[in-house]
Amino acid sequence: MERIELQDTKVKTQLICYHCGDECPDDSIHVNEKIFCCNGCKTVYEILEQNNLCDYYSIDKNPGITQKKQTKRNYDFLLDEDLVKKLIEFSDGKISKVTFNIPQMHCSSCIWILENLYKLNPGIINSQVNFLQKKIFINFSSKNTNLNEIVELLDSIGYEPQLNFDNTTTIKKSDYKKLYYKIGIAGFAFGNIMLLSFPEYLSLGTNEFPELKRIFAYINILLSLPVFFFSSSDYFVSSWKGLKKKIINIDVPLALGILILFIRSLYEIIFMNGAGYLDTLAGLIFFLLIGKLFQNKTYDTLNFERNYKSYFPISVTIKKDKTETTIPIEKLGVGNRIVIRNNELIPTDSVLIKGKANIDYSFVTGESIPTTKVNGETIFAGGRQMGSAIELETIKEVSQSYLTQLWNSKAFIKDDEPKIVSFANSISKHFTIAILLIGLTAAIYWYFVNPLLAFNAFTAVLIIACPCALALSTPFTMGNTLRIFGKNKFYLKNTYAIEKLAAVDAIVLDKTGTITENGASEVKFVGEVLTDNEGSLIKSTVRNSSHPLSLAIYNLLVNEKLLPTDYFDEEPGKGITAVINGFEIKIGAKSFVSEKNIDDKEQSTKVYVSINRKVRGYFNISNKYRSGLMEIISELGENNKISILSGDNESERNRLQEFFGSNKEMLFNQSPFDKLNYITSLQQNGKKVLMIGDGLNDAGALKQSDIGISISDDVNNFSPACDGILDSNSFSRLSDFIKFAKKSKSIIITSFILSSIYNLIGLYYAVSGTLSPIIAAILMPVSSITVVLFTTLSVNFFARKRRFI
């Protein structure tokens, strides 16, 4: 309860609701000393108190939403299964996911209570809030609670969700609205303060037009107030949060410089009749915010939402008029019948029509145990089929944004801190301490020599040494590099991957589907003549696999019929086993299919076939290697350790040596676990490893590597474990991408060096106590502009030199 006395003709006491802050008519509704405006607010308080969640009230003052006009709603309609299916985004029978719009969300207390819902309902596993979009994402146990109970809970505490059954009508709010306002205000103030400062610049220290100068100076103060208190607020907030955790991040010296600029400017104008540094202040903040916007926009543009659509997966097999064909994933609509093979990703919510579904939802829930589905059940996007091919009928459009969420899942984010960020924060810590010591030393010295110069020296040191290069060079350089890579069909998750790419000194390549072209193989069967039934058995078996060799065999058997598969199993790196109409079919490596010693002298890949344990022969597959492979190996082999890992046999070792030479390490018959162990061994020997695979069986190795890149052309698979996707058409430029990443890092370091030289020269004059405010006001914006121009022009110059643009 709060009692606020208002001074009027009579003194009266205003009663404030402890929950929502509205005025209470009297104190009849209360709990102990806490007064409430209505029984609704009291009920919410009691719910929170019973669950030990009254910290809600300590974060913000009167954070609750008034319950005066709230009526108890009936949510029984949320027990209807058909209706629930329209709201639920995902469910595997154990864990369900749902997203609600919460327009009542307004402060940090709202965020706190909404992310602690699991304490109010044990069936809720976790909840996450997007404050800017006013959304809450809830994961809950389908066995312990339901949608009806969750919505009733939200309503009971004053956060009634907006139930919208049509995803296409969801209102989108720009996350950048506030940032745009800050940039607009800073830019407007910067331009006008510069304009109003022209009399000061042109007078060059003379005392002409003193009245005009003073009027303009005070107008400049008014223009700078929203810049200081609004536009620069994020830097002060970030600094404060860092200092509370005993961390001096990059924003600490920036905030310190901004504060000193503002205080020194006020002192100059009010007490010294000077011009101050307000144009410097506005210019610095304007360029810092532009850098932040540029970086965020670059992330969003290349956030696997635009050019990445064809990679999640790139295509899908549909069944039409009893024939199978493939179409781009973006053309998949509601009502299409799609075929999903073993280990393929399900691109959209669908209903199982035919086959035995064994769905791995590990990308969605983290649970690796597959879930069995029967005909008629819904299978959600993001699951993988583990077993024989199934047929589904789509019930939703493909949601690329949902697949993007899977890609960016925390489960696949590597723990290592980006070195470029670590370097900047480390520099900022020592930088801040050093500048403070230099400033204090200068102030103490001049205090005894010439006290009038002591304050000037101290503030000038802090102003001139503002670390604009640290704050501006990284986002502008890395953002531009990310943009240029994207234009050349090399898509990285974030700018941190560029820095990791620049540090690699060991490159590991998968063979099949990575350095070989898919769909470009010459396939020939060698052995006993196959009957029509045997051809159908083989075609039906390989149809269930998404391995490139299986696809090559499937495309060879054009006229054979497809038969239903009773059993299917695929062992990565070995082969596949199926049971069809009582026949056991094995297709794969020689050792997998037969114990007999079969001679392998031809320089090609052989895929053996046995039916009922009798070897019928093999498919002779001559791989076609990607164009430019020899040049890539030659260029990258100079400074990097190159290795080849393959799940296939050694039949093409001699041919590979033509590309790689005899001194490169080549390991065959490698399981996914073997690949991961090899990457780990390289890292234990101090190597920074780049792993390039096709995403089929390489997820563990891609995630374990320092940076993992997935090659993609017509492979219908999606692996979020990698750091980026390289279009197969851009494979020949791999060495150029790596060299350009190294060049980008050197541009940042060069900008640091240039800024350090500038700071040293500026500090020399600042310490002397004679640095003119006018000169500093001109030099500081020029320094920021110089950093932006240098990094941007340098990146574009080297991009043109390497013919990226």
695-714 pLDDT, tens digit each = 555 767 887 888 988 887 64
Give the rounded distance of the alpha carbon of 763 from its chain centre.
40
Whole-number pLDDT of residue 743: 93
Percentage of residues in the chain with pLDDT exceeding 70?
Answer: 75
Per-domain residue ranges of the chain: 2-59, 76-170, 172-292, 313-404, 489-517+626-739
Question: What is the predicted pLDDT for the residue at 11?
Answer: 42
Query: Which position has the token pair 């950093």?
Result: 787
- Average the pLDDT over each of 183-187, 318-322, 445-449, 748-752 and give the range with the smallest value: 318-322
Confidence of residue 255 (pLDDT cuts 50, 70, 90): confident
Chain centre to alpha carbon of residue 157 = 33
Q: How confident is the model at residue 586 (pLDDT cuts 50, 70, 90)?
A: very high
633-649 pLDDT, tens per residue? 888 888 889 988 887 77
137: left (phi over 0), alpha (psi -120 to 50) or beta: beta
Residue 304's pLDDT is 36
| Whether pLDDT at 293 is above 70 | yes
User: Among 171-180, 343-352, 471-480, 560-569, where is mean pLDDT lowest?
Assistant: 171-180
> In terms of C-beta distances under 8 Å and separation of at least 24 residues, what long-range contacts does 759-763 make, across chains too?
759/464, 759/465, 762/464, 762/465, 763/438, 763/461, 763/464, 763/465
What does the pLDDT average to over 128-151?
Answer: 85
pLDDT of amino acid 687: 92
Say what the pLDDT of residue 8 is. 42
C-alpha–C-alpha distance, residues 605 and 698, integer Å = 20
Dist. CA 610–CA 556, nearest whole Å: 18
- Domain 489-517+626-739 classification at class level: alpha beta
pLDDT band, residue 3 (cuts 50/70/90): very low
Q: Interhelix angle for 39-50 vs 147-156, to 10°? A: 120
* Average pLDDT of the residues in 461-475: 68
Per-residue pLDDT averaged across 150-172, rounded? 65
pLDDT for 688: 93
Mean pLDDT, rounded, of the chain: 77
Q: What is the pLDDT of residue 352?
A: 92
Give the pLDDT band of residue 538 (cuts 50, 70, 90): very high
pLDDT for residue 225 is more than 90: yes
Confidence of residue 536 (pLDDT cuts 50, 70, 90): very high
Tell me: the pLDDT tens digits for 364-422? 665 556 778 888 888 888 788 877 788 999 988 776 555 555 555 554 556 554 555 55
Query: By C-alpha distance, which of 227, 316, 334 is closest to 276?
Result: 227
Q: What gap in Å lies between CA 701 and CA 693, rounded to an integer?
A: 9
Q: Which residue has the higher pLDDT, 3 or 152?
A: 152
What separation in angstroms does the CA of 131 have from each of 119, 175, 408, 644?
Answer: 20, 10, 19, 47
pTM of the model: 0.55
Q: Report the pLDDT value the prediction gives residue 300, as an integer from 0 to 100.
A: 52
**Domain 313-404 belongs to what topology?**
2.70.150
| Residue that wins the pLDDT comparison between 60 and 442 | 442
Would the pLDDT of 744 be above 80? yes
pLDDT at position 166 is 42
In this predicted structure, what is the pLDDT of residue 282?
Answer: 86
Q: What is the pLDDT of residue 776?
A: 55
pLDDT of residue 12: 47
Confidence of residue 247 (pLDDT cuts 50, 70, 90): low
Token pair listed for 316: 């899908």
pLDDT tens, position by position, 408-441: 555 455 655 455 555 555 666 677 778 778 888 8
Residue ranges of the alpha helices (H) in 637-726? Answer: 653-660, 672-684, 699-704
Q: Which residues are registered as beta bridge partners of 681?
A: none
pLDDT at residue 715 tops 50:
no
**pLDDT (0 to 100) of residue 579:** 93
Average pLDDT rounded to a whole number, residues 140-166 = 81
Q: What pLDDT is recorded for position 9?
A: 40
Q: Computed from CA positions of residues 365, 368, 372, 373, in that sequence, does the dihedral angle turn out positive or negative?
A: positive
Overall fold of domain 76-170: Alpha-Beta Plaits (3.30.70)
Distance CA 286, CA 536 (A): 68
Tokens of 96: 């369900």
pLDDT at 227 over 90: yes
pLDDT (tens digit, 9 = 90+) per residue, 558-585? Answer: 888 889 888 888 887 688 999 999 999 9
d(CA 530, CA 518): 25
The stretch 301-320 carries a mean pLDDT of: 54
Cα(760)–Cα(753) distance, rounded to whole angstroms? Answer: 11
Residue with tokens 């009920």: 43
Question: CB–CB of 792/476 below 8 Å?
Answer: yes
